[in-house]
Structure 1
Amino acid sequence: MARSPRPVRISRRMALAAGAGLAMPGLLRAQPRFPDRPIRLVVPFGAGGNLDTLARMLVPGVAERLGQPVVIENRVGAGGNIGTEAVARAAPDGYTLLLGSNGALTINPLIMERVPYDPAKDFAPVCLCFRTPQVLVASPKLPVKTFAEFLAYAKARPGQLQCGSAGSGTSNHLNIELLNAATGIGLVHVPYRSSGGATPDLLSGALASSMEQITTALPLHRDGQLPIIAAALPRPLPLLPDIPTLAEAGVPGGGLVSFIGILVPAGTPAPITATLQAAFAAALAEPALRARIEETGSLMADAAATTPPGFAALLRQEADLSRRAAAAAGLLVR
């Protein structure tokens, strides 16, 4: 005769575990790995510009470390506000990132009546990537060779010398106003549509000077066409150690530096932010990438600034300096 099967003994621990599994089945399933699909990096400016170029240098190394493609999406308009707003409204899941810079994060909210996002509340900083200094270039037709000679020449002609920028309200423009406030030389601002737009007028002598991104000015300086006479930095540029800084003329902090960093929508889980930060920081540490970036004149972020707290500190510093510059330019609206 076949024996009846023995009853299974169920301990109290097994019963509690089974009950928990019925109540919270998600606990018994493995959480999906992040990332498990492509990531979108929104660049709020057009293809081919400084931000876009640096982003495209960076993303291959990041994608390799994350194991997923990082796809650049150029969302242009309103001085960077359109692309920035798109990220602010995106799901906080780590799959939509912002390549953030001065304009949309630390300048536009001060000089525009309405900005459709709050930089402090709608984003979480992940990692500072690069800083692109600005430089003061002088027309070769001007009878000056150095920054000191330029300051003396301008002081002797208050309100007569013009200085170009990439547009009204840009960080280039604000650096001109910081220089004016520190020295009293009275440069007259002339806005152009982009960095480098002033080059023909500088070469012809129609424009005395311009505040340019170093990535635009460095090739012309090396070719002997447009001399760089000062850098908007607290310390001299490694590539141009003999060029003085705006700090030497009394500009606070040496002026604004165009920064480029990664942000995510506020509310993104901390483990996801940490995964992204580690991937970007590791990619930025690659010697080959560093060499390519530094050759353009841009500066790699130091290790502290590649952390969320370090990037957050830089954002606060840039916002404070931007406020002073916007006030000096008469652009401050809030």
Structure 2
Amino acid sequence: MTLSRRAALAAPAILLLPRAARAAFPDRPVRILVPFAAGTSSDLQARMIGERMAPLLGQPVVVENRAGAGGAVGADAVAKSPPDGHTLLLGSNGPLTNAPVLQARLTYDPAKDFAAVAMISRSPLTLTVKADSPWRSLADVLAAARAAPGRIAIGSSGQGSATHFLIEQVMATAGVQFTHVPYRGSSASVPDVIAGNIPLVMAEVSTVLPTFRGGQTRILAMTSAARMPIAPEVPTLIEGGLNLTGGSWAGLVAPAGTPAASLAVLAQAVLTGLADPAYRQRQAELGAEIVAAQEQTPEGFAAWLDRERATIRGIAERAGIRPE
């Protein structure tokens, strides 16, 4: 069954619930806490899906920003909220999968303190150079790295970020060594590669796209499973000989102990929202991939999170990353 057909069936399902069941949950506004500042990609994702969930839930969906400690402040607040389904976290790589291997004094357990609702977005990363770089392919970069182990710098959007972990995977898979330079976000690393201050960056596609289209950067490869419609001329890491995919993602989780019936209502609202044509068009413009249907359910998203946490632990162990 296709996503659009599943969504078409999901919307009436909510409306067919008995009146008493619909009135029971939600019975007041639903809050989505974003653990990052307003204007970030996480904030945008929360507002986009919240707008579409509200009419289906019959209650306002209010987005609140609670930034700090790489997302841990907002995540901790949701973990300690009443498990009634009215407070959700816009979770992502940082607070839900990366934090345990980076922060020694984490005040919540991502694996135990949350109940999955649904993944809402996944975006590939890009291996990017300046437009006039002599490197014109992934093969060129890997050849240069093999010729000068550890002497080529590569920027990421921060220590422990999705871009950092992807760099570690590239090095392990290709058998090369770069010097990792963490920045405060891709909005800082991409201008530096354009200025020639660093030769290579792993960066979020949404940040790189304007500079790529403007002729300031060249994307050598994307970390998606297949070429992306927004830049079909750009090959994947897989095409370059590295069997790797990855990227940044966002999903909704609730406090552990939230009733399964409430999670199902929330997930159904998300599923219908994800199928909205205007929503899908906007996600495509942002460079997001279509989320797999099995990850749009509480059970499927929970299983995916377990696998992702195991992957991140393995990367951290191989790279010698220790909690601080």
Q: 2:260 aligns with which of 259, 270, 273?
A: 270
> Judging changes above 3 Å, is the alpha-carbon distance between structure 1 residues 249 and 276 closer, same or farther for their aligned structure 2 residues?
same
Q: Find the partner of 1:290 among 280, 287, 296.
A: 280
Q: Would you say how many aligned residue pairs link Structure 1 and Structure 2?
A: 305
Residue in structure 1 matching 2:194, options 200, 203, 225: 203
Tell me the equivalent position of 2:169: 178
Q: Does 1:103 align with 2:91?
A: no
State the 1:271 CA deviation: 1.2
* Matches of 2:30 and 2:171, distance apart in 1: 43
Letter in 2 for 1:89: K
TM superposition shift of 1:155 = 2.1
Runs of 4+, deviation exceeding 6 Å = none
Tell me if the contact between 1:323 and 1:332 (Cα under 8 Å) persists in the aligned partners. no
The equivalent residue for 1:316 is 306
- Alignment-mate amino acid for residue 189 of structure 1: H
Cα deviation for residue 181 of structure 1 reads 1.1
Shift of 1:182: 1.4
Inter-CA distance 205–307: structure 2 relative to 1 (3 Å threshold):
same
**Counterpart in the other structure of 1:70:** 61
Mapped to 1, the partners of 2:82 and 2:42 lie a distance apart of 24
- Is contact 2:111–2:306 with CA below 8 Å preserved after alignment? no
Deviation at 1:157, TM superposition (A): 2.2
In angstroms, what is the RMSD of aligned CA positions? 1.9
Q: CA deviation at 1:31?
A: 9.4
Match of 2:33 in 1: 42
Q: Structure 1 stretch 147-156 or stretch 215-224: which is displaced more?
A: 147-156
Q: CA deviation at 1:109?
A: 0.7
Give unmatched runs, 5+ long, in structure 1: 1-28
Moved more, 242-251 or 188-197: 242-251
SS of 2:188's equivalent in the other structure is coil
In the alignment, is the contact (CA less than 8 A) between 1:165 and 1:191 conserved in 2?
yes
* Selected match of 2:110 from 106, 119, 127: 119
Instruction: Assess if the C-alpha contact under 8 Å between 2:190 and 2:203 holds in 1.
Output: no
Which residue type is aligned with residue 51 of structure 2? Answer: P
* Mapped contact 2:226–2:236 kept (Cα < 8 A): yes
Summarize deviations over 1:256-303 as a string: whole Å, max 9, x none: 321111111111111111111111111111111001111110123122
Change (3 A) 1:100 1:273: same
The range that moved more, 135-144 or 240-249, is 240-249
Larger Rg: 1
3-state SS of 1:158 partner: coil
Deviations 1:15-64 (CA, angstroms, capped at 9, x unpaired): xxxxxxxxxxxxxx999521121111000011111111122222111111
Q: 2:297 aligns with which of 307, 320, 326?
A: 307
1:57-107 per-residue CA deviation (whole Å, 9 max, x = no partner) reads 221111111111111111100110000000000001111001111111111
Residue segments in structure 2 that go unaligned for 5+ positions in a row: 1-19
Amino acid at match of 2:161: T
CA displacement at 1:169 relative to structure 2: 1.1
Give the alignment of 1:203-222 within 5 angstroms. 203-222=194-213
112-121 or 90-99, larger mean C-alpha shift:
112-121
Shift of 1:187: 1.3
Q: Which amino acid aligns with 1:46?
A: A
- Equivalent-residue separation in structure 1 for 2:115 and 2:205 (angstroms): 28
- Percent identical among aligned pairs is 44
